[in-house]
Amino acid sequence: MADLTAFQSWITTCATAIADRADDLTELDRAIGDADHGSNMKRGMSACAQLAEQEDFSSIDAYLKKVGMTLVSTVGGASGPLYGTFFLRLAGPLAASEQVGAHEFGQALRAGVEGIVARGKAELGDKTMYDALSPALDAFEEAAGAGSDLADALQAAARAAAEGRDATEPMVARKGRASYLGERSVGHQDPGATSATLLVEAAAQTLT
Amino acid sequence: MISLVVVSHSRPLARAAAALAAEMGTGGGPRVEIAAGLDEETTGTDGVAIAEAIGRADEASGGDGVLVLLDLGSAVLSAEMALEMVDPEVADRVRLSAAPLVEGLVAATVAAGAGGDLERCAEEARRGTEAKRTHLGEPDGAQPSAPKDDGDQPCEWDCIEVSVTMEHGLHARPAARLVAAAGSVAPDTRVRVRNQTTGTGPVDALSLSSVATLAARQGHVLRVEATGDRAGAVLQEIEHLARTAFGDEPGPAQPLADVEVPAPAVSDQPGVAGSGLEAAMGPAVLDRTVPEPEEREADTPQVEQERLDAAVHEALARLGELAQHARRHLGQGQAEVFDAHATLVRDPELARDVGSRIQQGQTAAVAWQGAVGDVAERFERLPDPYLQQRAQDVRSVGDRVMRILLGVAEPESLGEGVLVVDELDPAIAISLDAAAVQGVVTRRGGALGHGVLIARARGVPVLTGAGELPDVAAGTMIAFDVRAGRLEIDPAPEVQAAFTEMLDRRRREREHALADTHLPVVTRDGARITVKANVSSVAVARLGAGLGAEGSGLVRTEAVFAQWHRAPTVDQQVEVYTAIADAFAPHAVTIRTWDVGGDKPLDFIPIAEEANPFLGVRGIRAFRDDPALLLDQLEALCRVGRTHRLNVLFPMVTSVDDVDWARSRLQEAARRVGLSAPPRQLGVGIMVEVPAVAVRLARLARGLDFISIGSNDLSQYTLAAERGNPQVAPWSDALDPAILQLIRTICDRAPEGVVVSLCGELTSDPDVAGLLVGLGVRELSASPSAVPTVKARLRAASLRDLQDLAAGAVAARDAAAVRDLLLT
């Protein structure tokens, strides 16, 4: 079961991971996009990481909503509204929860990922963050359905996300700036799928 | 009216796009809110900021709706996100447009300005690339939308044909005005346009994008059709628009043409109105000058360019504030100075020059200084003195950006006293606190600079061109008198006392004069004198009437239309002359026909270069070979003269034949407007400025209603000394007793019933005005600001005393002796 502190730890851990990998993310984005994904995500996530110090949150959902709004305002690129939507939707099913288990988190994760799909209108294979998040969600639900607890289910999700991320390399981008490149986007890992994997991996480390 | 929101990754981009669209403005365009960039420099979009912008836009639209124009990528996602954040009721009134940002924004701005609803504006935005696509011959454009015909029901279309006269054809701005005209009668009256020359159309006149597809170039003929209740009215309006080149010609009589009229204060607010005394005394206040750019290694061109862009941007913002301030306190004309400055800052040529200097490795400050200096020098080399002085504007704008680049604060608050500056920056002129700054002395720069004009309009005394003042330390006592052209630095106590006394006297006199200025002038011994105002624009006419002038004794038409590149049409002239006559009604106004040549060039009346222009083709001489433009002017005067009290005044008349020829042209013009003779109440007169006219006046003036002495030219022709040449200044004084003698002769020789008027600069000095009355002049035309004082002074005098004064002056040894006489 994860409490507010664990969720705050998820965000700070993720912020650190993103900051550590910011240059890599930017490099990936330079190959097929506009070379700003690393700096955008770093700016957004570090703003989120400071939230816990700036404000006392009374609940998990209030905290996650604030994270979502912060991303919307600070990321700047398309990841802002996408991840912003993810966290805002994630917060919904967790309203009034003080301790979150595998079942509840599964519902929240589904709402969050569906939010991203609705916002970005992406499909599997478009070479986007959804290509990492979708297998992660499936793996999480499968594990949770089989009786795994939150930590184990997230471990499964993180592995699936990484596999999904790696699978984006041979894909042809069909969304965002990368779509202008068409076939030339083949051979590059998608930066969005990469940051999404970092997000899930951070969850696996902290939400226990 | 609907509002617009611009969403972009870049704040400068959004702002520039909005500015571009605003240029299409026919006034009263839609509210445009901007949500762009994360901050001034960081690229990105912010859903929360977009939601807020939508909220503000919705409020401004009063519920008419909000159209959001976006650039790409996250702009779309963030905007959709924003729609989820706003009140659902508001979200229902919002459309996100897929149109390309710039084209869509321009099209939507025009459509909204024409009163289009949300759907219409969204459609216009969507079709924003139509003209471009048609031009480039790319397929797949939506067909230009013709207004739907009412199926089988035939409807009546009224139509007119108009010509496109603009050099660049019916380009965006004129087209926007056409759309606005059509919008003013929509939806009950519909307007459509065809290009008769190319056979395209008809297209809906409400659609800028469709009108643009007509590709109407100079010389093309447009057929404009309208149906509905107000078809006639809208066609008339469009016809008028077409005649005035769809508003692309400079408008009538910009106030800036009024280069010689120091107008009084226009606001009662403390600190806004100056003393109006044309003199001041106080400790010197020095303007902080702009330092030279520091010497340092330039950063990369990109960094330097960004530095410059930021400074230019900040300068534009400040100019916007100043324009607003000016509009509030001083009126549109003064505000336009700052708009003009903004145009200079944005000048693409200048930007290119600075850009290439930066590319060559200069710092932003050095590049800016160099490029601005070049532009200022180019202005200074122009032959026209008015344009020469625009160099001052360029330097003022340059300093503004320079201050920002160097981090030097603008001189916001100036201490109390007399401000001493090299040149008077318009921004300082407008923002200075007239309660603290009693007067201004400029080292450089003439009386025509914008800053000087603004300060004078506020009634702040300004002494210009004081030259190389010894380095005055701040706090040094300074006293000056504009009327006497006198400047005292660190004056002795008795001189200070005399100044204080003079200022007090002028203050009392001015208060007194303003209180009584609308009363007629009758001297103490019962002589009736008329005091009129010299006029160079409609605005000045209104000013003069407000200050108690009993009509105008001289409307300088060449000054009224000085800014025009093309001759005004008869209709345009009728409009302007009517406005001037209305300003002075029921008093008469005297309109002088085009007085070109000499030092007064007009773009639309070219005069061949002459070795000695003052003795060359001037005044009516310029029309002997081709009277067309004179006939147009006389036709306008005959038309206005039927309903208003007008006089027509012919300049530079020399011979009897000149008078006969001029009168025949007036007769010809009268026939053009369907009259057998000029309107009876239209008075006819001539300028007396050539000495020969004074000699044979009895014969020349026979049958005329009045004569008008032009003391400026009469002096220079009589004394053979050009008034603008400082080297012959000792010989060109209009108070020379010979000139006074000549004026008296003219008054004596004028035939019975012919009114003698005098309209030169002499009249504006109240002491000299009395002298002129003593010489026999009964009608004076002075600069508007001088009217109250001149009237008051004459009222307090007796004709007998003035005649004695005149007798003494005519007998005096020289001009200096005349001045001494006036002071006693």
Token pair of B333 as six digits: 């004309």
CB B638 within 8 A of CB B673: yes
Identify the weakest region by mean pLDDT among B356-370, B452-466, B517-531, B621-635: B452-466
Q: Residue B251 pLDDT > 70, yes or no?
A: no
Instruction: Tell whether B220 lies on the interface with A, counting CB pairs under 8 A.
Output: no
Q: Residue B252 pLDDT > 60, yes or no?
A: no
Output the pLDDT for position B148: 42
pLDDT band at B470 (very low <50, low <70, confident <90, very high): low
Average pLDDT (A129-155) is: 95
Superfamily of domain B257-287+412-499: Phosphohistidine domain (3.50.30.10)
Output the pLDDT for position B398: 86
Token pair of B316 as six digits: 């534009």
Q: How many CB pairs lie under 8 A apart between chains A and B?
A: 55
Instruction: Tell whether B73 lies on the interface with A, counting CB pairs under 8 A.
Output: yes
pLDDT tens, position by position, B633-653 = 999 999 999 999 999 999 999
Average pLDDT (B279-308) is: 83
Average pLDDT (B424-434) is: 72
Q: Name the residue ranges covered by the structural domains of chain B.
A: 3-128, 158-247, 257-287+412-499, 301-406, 528-823
Q: How far apart are CA B84 and CA A119, in angstroms?
A: 11
Cα B568 to Cα A40, B249, B436, B807: the distances in Å are 59, 10, 44, 46
CB B165 within 8 A of CB B245: yes
Token pair of A69 as six digits: 């709004």
Q: Which helix (H) or strand (E) holds B375?
A: helix B364-380
Output the pLDDT for position B258: 29
Output the pLDDT for position B25: 61
- Please tell me which residue of chain A has the smallest CA distance to B81: A81
Identify the weakest region by mean pLDDT among B163-172, B214-223, B307-316: B163-172
Beta bridge partners of B488: B479
- Please tell me which residue of chain B has the smallest CA distance to A40: B44
- Please tell me which residue of chain A has the smallest CA distance to B35: A73
> Nearest CA of chain A to the CA of B13: how many Å?
15
CB contact under 8 A, A80 and B44: yes
Cβ neighbour number for residue B705 with a 10 Å cutoff = 16
CB contact under 8 A, B74 and A74: no
Residue B759 bears catalytic tag: yes
CB contact under 8 A, B47 and A119: no
Output the pLDDT for position B263: 33
Give the right CATH number for B3-128 from 3.40.50.720, 1.20.200.10, 3.40.50.510, 3.30.470.20. Answer: 3.40.50.510
Output the pLDDT for position B262: 30
CB contacts of B38 in chain A (<8 Å) are 73-74, 76
pLDDT tens, position by position, A60-74 = 999 999 999 999 999
User: β-strand B706-709 against B683-688: which pairing, if any?
Assistant: parallel
Output the pLDDT for position B173: 63
User: Is 3.20.20.60 the CATH number for B528-823?
Assistant: yes
CA B718 to chain centre: 35
Q: How far apart are CA B806 and CA B160, in angstroms?
A: 64
CB contacts of A74 in chain B (<8 Å) are 38, 46
- In terms of Cα–Cα distance, which of B246, B227, B264, B217 is closest to B153? B227
Output the pLDDT for position B254: 32
Identify the weakest region by mean pLDDT among B223-237, B426-440, B791-805: B426-440
CB contacts of B44 in chain A (<8 Å) are 40, 75-77, 80
Q: Residue B412 pLDDT > 70, yes or no?
A: no
Return the HEC string of B88-126: HHHHCCEEEECCCHHHHHHHHHHHHHCCCCHHHHHHHHH
Helix ranges restricted to H, B653-765: 656-672, 691-695, 697-700, 711-719, 737-749
CB contact under 8 A, B46 and A73: yes
Which letter does DSSP use for residue B597 in this model?
A: B
Q: How far apart are CA B649 and CA B662, in angstroms?
A: 10
Output the pLDDT for position B333: 56
Catalytic residue among B121, B638, B747, B759: B759
Which letter does DSSP use for residue B147 in this model?
A: P
pLDDT band at B672 (very low <50, low <70, confident <90, very high): very high
**Which of B7, B8, B38 is best to mutate for the A interface (most A CBs within 10 A)?**
B38
Which CATH number is associated with domain A4-206?
Answer: 1.25.40.340
pLDDT tens, position by position, B380-408 = 776 555 556 667 777 888 888 888 888 87
Instruction: Tell whether B9 lies on the interface with A, counting CB pairs under 8 A.
Output: yes
pLDDT tens, position by position, B607-639 = 777 778 888 889 999 999 899 999 999 999 999
Mean pLDDT, chain A, rounded, equals 92
Residue B69, amino acid: L
Token pair of B647 as six digits: 């006089």
Q: Residue B199 pLDDT > 60, yes or no?
A: yes
Instruction: Tell whether B98 lies on the interface with A, counting CB pairs under 8 A.
Output: no
Instruction: Tell whether A164 lies on the interface with B, counting CB pairs under 8 A.
Output: no
CB B30 within 8 A of CB B117: no
Q: Residue B264 pLDDT > 80, yes or no?
A: no
Q: Using a pLDDT cut of 90, give the percent of chain B over it.
A: 37
- Please tell me which residue of chain A has the smallest CA distance to B37: A76
Token pair of B179 as six digits: 């759309």
Instruction: Tell whether B534 lies on the interface with A, counting CB pairs under 8 A.
Output: no
CB contact under 8 A, A119 and B78: no
Which letter does DSSP use for residue B82 in this model?
A: H
Instruction: Tell whether B235 lies on the interface with A, counting CB pairs under 8 A.
Output: no
Q: Using a pLDDT cut of 90, give the percent of chain A over it.
A: 78
Positive or negative: CA dihedral B175, B28, B453, B284 = negative
Q: How far apart are CA B677 and CA B679, in angstroms?
A: 6
Positive or negative: CA dihedral B423, B427, B430, B433 = negative
Q: Residue B703 pLDDT > 50, yes or no?
A: yes
CA dihedral in degrees (B411, B412, B418, B421; nearest 10)?
30
In which residue are the tokens 């549109």 written? B332
Which CATH number is associated with domain B301-406?
Answer: 1.10.274.10
Residue B450 bears catalytic tag: yes
Burial B372-384 (b: 16+ CB within 10 A, else e): beebbeebeeeee
Cα B484 to Cα B304, B480, B609: the distances in Å are 50, 9, 36
User: Is 1.10.340.30 the CATH number for B158-247?
Assistant: no
Contacts (Cβ under 8 Å, ≥6 apart) of A174? A123, A125, A126, A127
Output the pLDDT for position B591: 97
Residue B484, amino acid: A
CB contact under 8 A, A81 and B9: no
> Nearest CA of chain B to the CA of A76: how many Å?
4
Instruction: Tell whether B484 lies on the interface with A, counting CB pairs under 8 A.
Output: no
> Nearest CA of chain A to the CA of B38: how many Å?
6
CB contact under 8 A, B38 and A85: no
Q: Residue B335 pLDDT > 90, yes or no?
A: no
Q: Using a pLDDT cut of 70, give the percent of chain B over it.
A: 84
Alpha carbon distance, N-terminus to C-terminus of chain B: 68
Which one has a higher pLDDT value, B800 or B347? B800
Beta bridge partners of B439: B418
Output the pLDDT for position B758: 96
Q: How far apart are CA B40 and CA B783, in angstroms?
A: 50
Instruction: Tell whether A33 lies on the interface with B, counting CB pairs under 8 A.
Output: no
> Nearest CA of chain B to the CA of A71: how many Å?
9
Output the pLDDT for position B351: 84
CB B755 within 8 A of CB B588: no
For A30-62, give the DSSP string.
HHHS-S-HHHHHHHHHHHHHTHHHH---SSHHH
Q: How far apart are CA B556 and CA B619, in angstroms?
A: 12
Cα A56 to Cα A1, A3, A63, B619: the distances in Å are 21, 14, 9, 85
Output the pLDDT for position B448: 52
Q: Name the residue ranges covered by the structural domains of chain A.
A: 4-206
Q: How far apart are CA A52 and CA B143, in angstroms?
A: 57
Helix ranges restricted to H, B536-655: 538-546, 557-560, 570-584, 628-641
Output the pLDDT for position B706: 96
pLDDT tens, position by position, B745-765 = 999 999 989 999 999 778 878
Beta bridge partners of B94: B66
Which letter does DSSP use for residue B520 in this model?
A: P
Which one has a higher pLDDT value, A102 or B394? A102
Mean pLDDT, chain B, rounded, equals 83
Average pLDDT (B107-135) is: 85
CB contact under 8 A, A76 and B45: yes
Q: How far apart are CA B545 and CA B552, in angstroms?
A: 9
CB contacts of B96 in chain A (<8 Å) are none
CB B174 within 8 A of CB B162: no
- Please tell me which residue of chain A has the smallest CA distance to B52: A73
pLDDT tens, position by position, B766-779 = 889 999 999 999 99
Burial tier of B251 (Cβ tally within 10 Å: 0-12, 13-18, 19+): exposed
Which one has a higher pLDDT value, A154 or B390? A154
Q: Residue B323 pLDDT > 90, yes or no?
A: no
Contacts (Cβ under 8 Å, ≥6 apart) of B235? B158, B159, B160, B224, B226
Q: How far apart are CA B207 and CA B116, in angstroms?
A: 10
Identify the weakest region by mean pLDDT among B359-368, B547-556, B588-597, B610-619: B610-619
Output the pLDDT for position B555: 93
Average pLDDT (B646-671) is: 96
Q: How far apart are CA B477 and CA B496, in angstroms?
A: 9
Instruction: Tell whether A76 lies on the interface with B, counting CB pairs under 8 A.
Output: yes
CB contacts of A119 in chain B (<8 Å) are 77, 80-81
CB contact under 8 A, A73 and B80: no
CB contact under 8 A, B73 and A78: yes
Q: Which helix (H) or strand (E) holds B4?
A: strand B3-8
From chain A residues 173-202, the ones with a CB under 8 A of any chain B CB are 176-177
Cβ neighbour number for residue B614 with a 10 Å cutoff = 15
CB contacts of B78 in chain A (<8 Å) are 72, 80-81
pLDDT tens, position by position, B57-105 = 999 998 899 999 999 878 988 999 899 888 888 999 999 998 999 999 9
> Nearest CA of chain B to the CA of A79: how many Å?
8
- ipTM, 2 decimals? 0.78
Bin B703: left if φ > 0, else alpha if -120 < ψ < 50, else beta.
Answer: left
Candidates A40, A74, A78; nearest CB to B77: A78
Identify the weakest region by mean pLDDT among A138-152, B138-152, B427-441: B138-152
CB contacts of B86 in chain A (<8 Å) are none
Cβ neighbour number for residue B27 with a 10 Å cutoff = 6
CB contact under 8 A, A69 and B73: no
Average pLDDT (B367-379) is: 85
CB contacts of A69 in chain B (<8 Å) are 48
If you count them, how many residues does chain B have? 824
pLDDT band at B250 (very low <50, low <70, confident <90, very high): very low
Candidates B38, B43, B74; nearest CB to A81: B74
In which residue are the tokens 């106004």 written? B589
Output the pLDDT for position B818: 94
B653 HSE (CA, 13 A, CB side): 30
pLDDT band at A142 (very low <50, low <70, confident <90, very high): very high
CB contact under 8 A, A72 and B48: yes
Output the pLDDT for position B269: 41
Identify the weakest region by mean pLDDT among A153-162, B452-461, B657-666: B452-461
User: β-strand B477-481 against B417-421: which pairing, if any?
Assistant: unpaired
CB B443 within 8 A of CB B469: yes
Phi, psi dihedral angles at B187 (to 5 degrees): -95, -10
CA-based Rg of chain B, rounded to a whole angstrom?
30
Instruction: Tell whether A31 lies on the interface with B, counting CB pairs under 8 A.
Output: no
Output the pLDDT for position B604: 81
Q: Residue B422 pLDDT > 60, yes or no?
A: yes
Average pLDDT (B690-717) is: 93
Q: Residue B265 pLDDT > 50, yes or no?
A: no
Output the pLDDT for position B501: 93
Output the pLDDT for position B97: 92
Burial tier of B532 (Cβ tally within 10 Å: 0-12, 13-18, 19+): buried
